[in-house]
Each structure stands twice: as structure tokens, then as C-alpha cells.
Amino acid sequence: MSAPKAFVVGWPIAHSRSPLIHGFWLKRHGIEGTYVAEAVPPDAIDAFLRCFGERGYVGGNVTLPHKEAAFRSAAESTEVARKLEAANTLWLEDGRLHADNTDVHGFAANLDERASKWRKGGSALVIGAGGASRAVLWALIDAGFGKIALLNRTPARAEELARHFGRSVEAGGFERLTEALGEADLVVNATSAGLLDEAGLVIPWNAAKTSAVATDLVYVPLVTPFLEGAREEGLTIVDGLGMLLHQAVPGFERWFGIRPIVDDELRALVVADLAR
């Protein structure tokens, strides 16, 4: 059998750390496989998804802006991919395209590793209502959070998601931040604000419970202004890098046959790369 070959497909793709992560695991486990980045524009993604098997790929990861197209192309999909209507992990089985979404696993596993008290559940505040927010909402519902405030700069987008996810999700705009922050046991920044040291969101952290956990999906910089503010008020903080590392685990296991672990050595490798 030839060495398994997997991809990450996106547009653009040069920034992706997935080849670094999977390359590290391939080397660690002495697997003669490869994992490469494929830059594919939106008008070519359907053809790529139809034909990647003919190019020797066993499967791969999908990133922006192709997660919805990947879900639509699959013949079979997991429950979580169907709930999110988006896929980030693909593989071929009996010649058919299968799809999963491992962002939910990545989000939950990161918190399990670094702030396991989040599992106590209670009330959550999710800021942002884009694609990544869907994975966060599903993880919180799955973990048993009974009340989730979903606040977005554009409230209509939050309302649409709240309809999709049901009664435990209450949508609103940023005018409700102070009130929702006061109730929250878990606070999640699922916006792209704060990326690359942008000024970020203005959060009235002094209204938050000091027992709460705050996490950001953005991981460049590792400690965003959002997390910095939470830390100053005494909250437990969890950066977004662990979500990226953990979401990679199920795909690697499927394509290469070994379930890898996320550890300090891998994290240090990616942190060093982000600093470049």
C-alpha cells in the first residue's frame, strides 16, 4: 500500500498551521505519510472535492471559505456536521465522501485540558455569531449549558443562529453585554475582533464573576486583549490555540491510523512558528 496522503484545502492557505501540526505527528509516529496545503479558489472547490481521491489523497481538512461546500459535497456526514451545516474533516470510505466537523471537539477538548471546571455548566455568554460560533454553541448545548446569551455586533445574525439552535440560546446586541457578563460562568469570544493585536472588543470585565472561565477563539496573539482584560479581573483564561491543535486529532487518526496527542512539545512548536 502506498503511503497515505492528506491535505488541508483553503483560499488563501499559506497561513495555515495544519501542515506543521500533522507533519509533527507524522514524524513522531514514524509514519511515511504526507500532509500538504492545497490553495483552491471558490470556483474550483467542487471539482477538487470530487476528484481528490484520483490524486492519491485519502482525505483532508477544509478551512475558510470552503467548509459549507465540503459539507454539501459529502455523501455521508456526522450528526455534528449536519447540525453545523459545515465540515472541516473529509475522508473517502468505500469510494464515498464522508464529512465531519471537529471544531466542536477542539473547542471542548481545549477547555477540558486547561479549565475543566467549565463542565459544571450553568450560564454562558458567546460573543460573535459567525461560522465558528456555531461550533461553540453546539459544544455548550452538548455540555449541558442551560442558558446561553449570544450577542453580536449585528444582532440579526445572532437571532438567526438562536432560531437554529433552540430555546437555550438568547440572541441580542452588545447593549446587553454587562448584564450577560454578570450571569456568565463561561465567556467566549467567537468574533475575529482582537486578531493580530487589533484594539478588540470593549468588555466591561468588572461586571464578570471572578469564578468564570474566559476563552477566545483567536490565537494570534496568544493572549488577546480580550483575555488580558479577563485575567486582570481574576478570571481563568484559556487561549484559542488548543482548539486548533485538538480539532486536528480526529482527522489524523482517520487518515493515518494512530490517535495522536496534544502536548507541550507540539504547542511550543506552533507557538514558535506564530512568533515568526
- Closest residue to ligand NDP: CB criterion: 130
- Min dist. Cβ of residue 114 to ligand NDP (A): 13
Backbone angles phi, psi at 217, to 5 degrees: -80, -25
Closest CA to 238 of 134, 116, 82, 96: 116
Residues with a known catalytic role: 67
- For the chain, how many helices (H) and strands (E)? 12, 12
CA distance 16 to 25: 16
- CA torsion, ordered 206, 209, 215, 220, to nearest 10 deg: 20
Quick count: other Cβ atoms within 10 Å of Cβ 43?
8
Nearer to ligand NDP by Cβ, of 31 and 99: the residue is 99
Residues near ligand NDP (CB under 6 A): 103, 106, 128-133, 152-154, 157, 190-193, 195, 201, 217-219, 240, 243-244, 247
Comparison of 31 and 111: residue with beta carbon closer to ligand NDP: 111
Q: In terms of CB distance, is 145 or 219 closer to ligand NDP?
A: 219
Comparing CB distances to ligand NDP, the nearer of 47 and 202 is 202
256 in Cβ contact with 26 (< 8 Å):
yes
The three-class DSSP label of residue 117 is helix
Torsion angle (degrees, nearest 10) of CA 37, 107, 84, 171? -130
Q: Which residue pairs, CB below 8 angstroms and at least 24 apart, start in 226-229?
A: 226/189, 226/193, 226/194, 226/200, 226/201, 229/203, 229/205
Smallest separation (angstroms) from ligand NDP to the CB of 4: 24
